[in-house]
Structure 1
């Protein structure tokens, strides 16, 4: 039995049960949810959902969407179901390996079925870095070799024509993400996230529309911390759910 903590997101508007150890929802999830252009009636897929933090935070803004949470780990998927109930979110939780097309289809994840796909892919691939011995943390942070391309292509395949994909990833993999997504998406928007104004970016927020031919737009950056080491007013407002990045 894994140890669970009960945490609050967006100033207490979302409740999240999640493992006490291993990968835990944090700023990346907040920024991804704040970048989601959700509309009433949309089918929203949170791919690699873990305990559902991203989709749950989007649901705070728009409950009249249909949420599908895709997670490979059965224990995390069970927690995601519990979190949907606790937050009164009408969410379907699908246990499937997004990298396995047959498993996706068997689980009911059909091509071109989502209006909006949100994803925070594992940041590393086998051979790129030392992988954590913690099973949950390792699964959340590492893909097989070539896994990022397979992951993003799977996400693109789930989008309806004119559907939108939004992802958060490490800043040093921005060029790779742009190269992969540029084959199927257009109208891409890129925003960098910096720990402070005088330090290099650590994350990129990237979105695009399936089938669009619009050019890439570079949006203003997000600065997380001020000179005193505390959240900037913008970062604080994002974490409290009082602002968005749309």
Structure 2
């Protein structure tokens, strides 16, 4: 639900205020460009309960990490975002939702040198949950968005997905989980990038409706595990007709349940 009320600190009405989880959190995000949707909410709700510190790589305005905090799945969160304007919104969202003592935002590029990431405050072998919604078009795929932050959220080079997973592996604690939401068409590339670094891979396909091909996947891996891959049954986002969400997803988007997988 969009509250559509720009904040005083935003000039020329460039941001909106949008409610998530049935109003449990309200976030400022750009009026144009990349805007958080159900991918971000599902990602945050997919964190297993009891996590001490969740790291959100490419956090945008902070939706996924703040969902995990609001649902009580994690105690603390670190948000990493490279675009300064989006980073500023993420910082405001942390404090506006009462998470100032439980969350921080780091302004850095995931693809920068490890030394630069460390200098910016990103810790190695520390986070027991790492979540990410990486750019989902390779070079030459899709239409490049004119807005730079949206373009970066949608497109990346051929080797960048592997670099994202390398960063996630370096930041995750031993035994920590890494969760990625991604288009189903990119499953092969994602499994290659994650399989080289994590075990116990679990794949949850999400389809628009029962009997339709999956369009999104959630993949979880465990750092240091050697357990084999598990492919879960596909779940339908909507009912047979109409735009209403299936009960299990409706409960998530209303803020009354986490994703059980």
The answer to whether 1:129 aligns with 2:142 is yes
Query: Gaps (5+ residues) in structure 1?
Result: none
Which of the numbers 234, 239, 244 marks the counterpart of 2:253? 239
TM-score by length of 1: 0.94
Which of the numbers 88, 101, 106 marks the counterpart of 2:98? 88
User: Secondary structure, in 3 states, of the residue corresponding to 1:238?
Assistant: helix
8 Å CA contact 1:71–1:96 kept in 2: the answer is: yes
Map residues 182-201 of structure 1 onto 2, 5 A cutoff: 182-201=195-214
Map residues 29-178 of structure 1 onto 2, 5 A cutoff: 29-39=40-50, 42-62=52-72, 65-89=75-99, 90-101=102-113, 102-178=115-191
How well do the aligned residues superpose, as a CA RMSD in angstroms?
Answer: 1.5
Count, aligned residues:
245
| Offset from partner CA, 1:28-76 (integer Å, 9 cap, x none) | 0111112111415x12101100100001111012276121000001111
8 Å CA contact 2:41–2:253 kept in 1: the answer is: yes
Relative to 1, partners in 2 of residues 1:232 and 1:63: Cα closer, same or farther, differing over 3 Å?
Answer: closer
Query: Gaps (5+ residues) in structure 2?
Result: 1-10
Q: Distance in 2 between matches of 1:63 and 1:225?
A: 25
Q: Which 4+ residue blocks in structure 1 deviate beyond 6 angstroms?
A: none
TM-score by length of 2: 0.89
User: Secondary structure, in 3 states, of the residue corresponding to 1:151?
Assistant: helix
Relative to 1, partners in 2 of residues 1:49 and 1:85: Cα closer, same or farther, differing over 3 Å?
Answer: same
- After TM superposition, give the deviation of residue 228 of structure 1 in Å: 1.9
Deviates more, 1:10-19 or 1:102-111: 102-111
Which of the numbers 214, 236, 243 marks the counterpart of 1:223? 236
